[in-house]
């Protein structure tokens, strides 16, 4: 019997099984290769280390970092690349290196360095899944780590200032997205009809960028113009992550949430309208009911009426 494989990773949101790119890479590859992972989602009750997430734990070893985890799974005979040729395997390594050099810095910047995105989305989301008081410390440490990683790889001369680095990493990211779109073309996956390691990496890096609702969306807008890359993310979500914990697909849950929000807004509008109508009625001047005048007969008319009733 195979040893149990437990993956500790950040959880999901916005219809994704995880909003953390490196966790998403491993989750996607496990689905493609059929690896039976027991997923342990990090929340505010989790006491393990978080710096090297995702973490794969077995009976006798602990493995971190996506590349090492994927290599470990291949040694356990969970291989999503078994049908690739030698050239396709070399292309996979080249494109993964391109992703990590050109696209990853922009993804890190979008989540962790861009102020509006960090304070409105990233920090609240991660802080809600970290126990107090680490929730006050760890998101900031992760943000500084992302910035240091960007500057370490891209802050070399002649790019001395952060603004220059930001402009360059977004240019490189858009160029990388265009190359990926051209390589994918009209194919379902990068190397035919079966997903492999490259599809897992592309999905892991692009899906959070595609699905998370950010205030600043300049790179997201460029991605959404490349319909085949968006379709790749949607297809993987639909085919491999259809069922959530409640038996509902991520896309279906997102639609339910959107419909519920619309229904709530509609009910609130109706309630406000009824309250305004009630206030208007209460404030409008009230007219007292008018009494109809009583007609009284003259003595002559009464005598005439009495004679008519007595006559045969």
Alpha-carbon distance 59 to 124, whole Å? 34
Helix (H) / strand (E) containing 94: helix 86-98
Alpha-carbon distance 200 to 96, whole Å? 10
Q: pLDDT averaged over the chain?
A: 80
> Which regions of the chain are under pLDDT 70?
1-3, 44-51, 154-160, 243-312
Per-residue pLDDT at 200: 97
Closest CA to 188 of 224, 226, 225, 231: 231
Per-residue pLDDT at 304: 54
In Å, what is the CA distance from 237 to each residue of 12, 24, 53? 12, 11, 21
Alpha-carbon distance 266 to 250, whole Å? 24
Helix (H) / strand (E) containing 157: none
Per-residue pLDDT at 36: 92
pLDDT in tens, 206-226: 999 999 999 988 899 999 999
Architecture of domain 5-242: Up-down Bundle (1.20)
Alpha-carbon distance 74 to 311, whole Å? 121
Classified as helix, coil or strand, 15 is: coil
Per-residue pLDDT at 165: 83
Q: Give pTM, 2 decimals.
A: 0.75
pLDDT in tens, 9-33: 998 999 999 999 999 999 999 999 9
Question: Residue ranges per domain, the chain?
Answer: 5-242
């Amino acid at each position: 019997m195979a040893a149990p494989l437990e993956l500790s990773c950040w959880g999901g949101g916005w219809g994704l099984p995880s909003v953390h790119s490196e966790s998403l890479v491993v989750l996607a590859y496990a689905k493609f290769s059929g690896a039976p992972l027991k997923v342990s989602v990090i929340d505010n009750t989790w006491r393990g280390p978080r710096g090297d997430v995702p973490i794969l734990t077995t009976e006798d070893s602990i493995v971190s970092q996506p590349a090492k985890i994927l290599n470990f799974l291949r040694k356990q005979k969970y291989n999503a690349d078994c049908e690739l040729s030698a050239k396709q395997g070399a292309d996979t390594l080249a494109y993964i290196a391109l992703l990590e050099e050109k696209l990853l810095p922009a993804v890190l910047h979008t989540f962790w360095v861009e102020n509006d995105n960090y304070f409105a989305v990233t920090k609240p989301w991660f802080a809600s899944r970290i126990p107090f008081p680490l929730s006050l410390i760890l998101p900031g440490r992760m943000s500084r780590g992302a910035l240091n990683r960007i500057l370490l790889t891209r802050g070399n001369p002649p790019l001395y200032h952060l603004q220059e680095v930001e402009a360059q990493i977004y240019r490189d990211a858009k160029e990388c997205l265009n190359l990926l779109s051209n390589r994918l073309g009209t194919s379902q996956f990068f190397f035919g009809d079966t997903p492999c390691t490259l599809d897992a990496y592309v999905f892991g890096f692009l899906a959070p960028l595609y699905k998370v609702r950010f205030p600043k969306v300049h790179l997201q807008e460029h991605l959404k113009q490349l319909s085949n890359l968006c379709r790749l993310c949607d297809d993987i979500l639909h085919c491999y992550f259809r069922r959530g914990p409640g038996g509902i697909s991520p896309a279906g849950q997102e639609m339910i949430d959107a419909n519920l929000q619309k229904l709530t807004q509609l009910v609130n509008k109706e309630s406000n309208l009824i309250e305004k109508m009630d206030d208007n009625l209460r404030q409008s001047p009230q007219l007292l009911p008018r009494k109809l005048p009583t007609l009284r007969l003259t003595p002559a008319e009464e005598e005439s009426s009495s004679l008519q009733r007595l006559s045969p």
